[in-house]
Amino acid sequence: MGNFIGCDLGGTNLRAAIVNSQTGTVSNLTIVPTLAREGYEEVLLRMVDLFEHLIQESGLGKMNIDGIGIGIPGMMDVERGYTTFVTNLPGHWINIPVGPFITERIGIPTFILNDVRSITWGEYEFGAGKGCNSMVMYAIGTGIGGGVVINKQLVLGNSGQAGEIGHMTVEPNGTLCNCGNHGCLEQYASGPAIRAAALKAIAHGATTILGEMVDYDLNKMTPEVVFNAALKGDEIAKNIYETAGYYLGIAIGNSIVQLEPERIVIGGGIAQAGEILFAPMRRAIQEHVHLVPLERIQIVPAQLGNNAGVIGTSMWAEYMVHRKAL
C-alpha cells in the first residue's frame, strides 16, 4: 500500500507520522519531547516507542509499514545509517548506528537523511517542486540549509553533504562563521544574523524604534520584531532586511548560474517576511545573473510547512527500500 513512517529528530521534539507514498497524505501525526539531554540511546528508545505507538494507533500492523525514514540535523553516512556529526543535540552523537538500531528493534528497514535534505525531498515529491525535473531548496531560519535535486535525483555529493547552502561564501573576507569560513550566507540572511544586525544598530546609537519595540530589553529582540519595525517604516529595520535579501539573492544567483534549476524553492521562518526580503533578493539576482535566462526559472515559496520533513523522510525511505530491492 506504500505506507511509511517519517520522523523529524529535533532538538526539542520528535515529530513522526504515517505517510502514504502514493498521495503524500500525512496521518497519525504525533509529537513528543526529544529529551536529548538524556543521551542518544534514550532518544533512540523513545523513537522505538513512538514508532510502535504509531503502528498500533494506525491499525496498519508492521507488515503494512514498508519503511521508516528519520531526518537528523547534521552529517551522516546515509548508506550505513550512521550519524557522523549531529548539530543542536547535546551528548555524543558521533558514529551512532541510528538506522540499524531502529531496524533491529522494530523489524522495519530504517533509513536516515539530513533534516533539510529531507525537507527538500518532501517539497520535491509533494510540494512546491512537484512535477519539475530539477530544483534547489533554501530553508532560512535559525540557520540556512538547503538541498539540490537534479534529473529527479536528490544530490548528496561524495560524502552526503551537498546542499550546505548556508555556508556558501557571499562576502569574501566577511564576518567569521562558526564553520571557520568568512562571509557565509548564514552570517547575513539567517534569523540570528538579522537579530545581530538589529542589536548592533542599537549599540551604535542609530535612530530606530527597534529598542523601543522591546522596551529596551534586548533579550526580546527577534527577527519578527525587526520585520514589524520595517513594516512601520523604520529605515534601520528596512535596511537590515534589504541586506539579508541582497545576500540571499547573490547566493541564489550562484545556484542559478551553476545548476540552472527549473525552480528555486524558499522556505523557513525568515521567508515569512515576504516582499521585504524577496524584493531585494530579486534585484540582486537580476544584477548578478546574465548568462542564464531568468524567465525560465521559477522562484516559489515552499508549500508543505511543518509536514515537509516527515513527508520527505518517508519518501526517502521509499526510495531506499526500492533501490535496495533492485
Check pLDDT > 80 for residue 87. Answer: no
Please give the grid coordinates belonging to residue 274.
515576504
**SS3 call for 128:** coil
Kindly state the percentage of the chain with pLDDT values over 90: 89
Domains with residue ranges and CATH for the chain = 3-122+306-325 (3.30.420.40), 132-302 (3.30.420.40)
* CA–CA gap between residue 97 and residue 77 (Å, rounded): 10
Check pLDDT > 70 for residue 19. Answer: yes
pLDDT band at residue 325 using 50, 70 and 90 as cut-offs: confident
Check pLDDT > 90 for residue 247. Answer: yes
Check pLDDT > 90 for residue 90. Answer: no
**SS3 call for 210:** helix
- Tell me if the pTM is above 0.85: yes
Check pLDDT > 70 for residue 318. Answer: yes
Check pLDDT > 90 for residue 324. Answer: no
Helices (H), the chain: 40-58, 98-106, 115-126, 186-189, 191-203, 210-213, 223-231, 235-259, 275-288, 308-325
Mean pLDDT over residues 104-120, rounded?
A: 96
Rg (CA), the chain: 21
CB 307 within 8 A of CB 272: no
Give 25-45 pLDDT, tens digit per residue: 999 999 999 999 999 999 999
pLDDT band at residue 89 using 50, 70 and 90 as cut-offs: confident
pLDDT band at residue 1 using 50, 70 and 90 as cut-offs: low
Residue whose C-alpha cell reads 523601543 in the numeric block? 212
Distances, alpha carbon 274 to alpha carbons 110, 227, 237, 241, 271, in Å: 37, 10, 14, 10, 6
Q: CA quadruple 164, 169, 170, 175: dihedral positive or negative?
A: positive
Q: Would you state the pLDDT for residue 315?
A: 97
45 exposed, middle or buried (CB, 10 Å; 0-12, 13-18, 19+)?
middle
Q: Would you state the pLDDT for residue 225?
A: 96
Mean pLDDT over residues 223-251, rounded?
A: 96
Q: Would you state the pLDDT for residue 161?
A: 83
Contacts of 97 (CB under 8 A, 6+ apart): 80, 81, 82
* CA–CA gap between residue 41 and residue 83 (Å, rounded): 13
* CA–CA gap between residue 95 and residue 36 (Å, rounded): 16
Chain mean position to CA 181 = 21
Q: Would you state the pLDDT for residue 299?
A: 94
Residue whose C-alpha cell reads 540570528 in the numeric block? 192
Give 255-297 pLDDT, tens digit per residue: 999 999 999 999 998 998 999 999 999 999 999 999 999 999 9
Mean pLDDT over residues 104-109, rounded?
A: 96
Q: Would you state the pLDDT for residue 321?
A: 94
Give 141-163 pLDDT, tens digit per residue: 989 999 999 999 999 988 778 89
* CA–CA gap between residue 235 and residue 148 (Å, rounded): 35
Phi-psi region of 24 (alpha: psi -120 to 50; beta: other; left: phi over 0): left
- Long-range Cβ contacts of 18-25 (<8 Å, 24+ apart): 18/54, 18/58, 18/60, 18/65, 19/310, 19/311, 19/314, 19/315, 21/66, 21/314, 21/315, 21/318, 24/125, 24/126, 24/311, 24/315
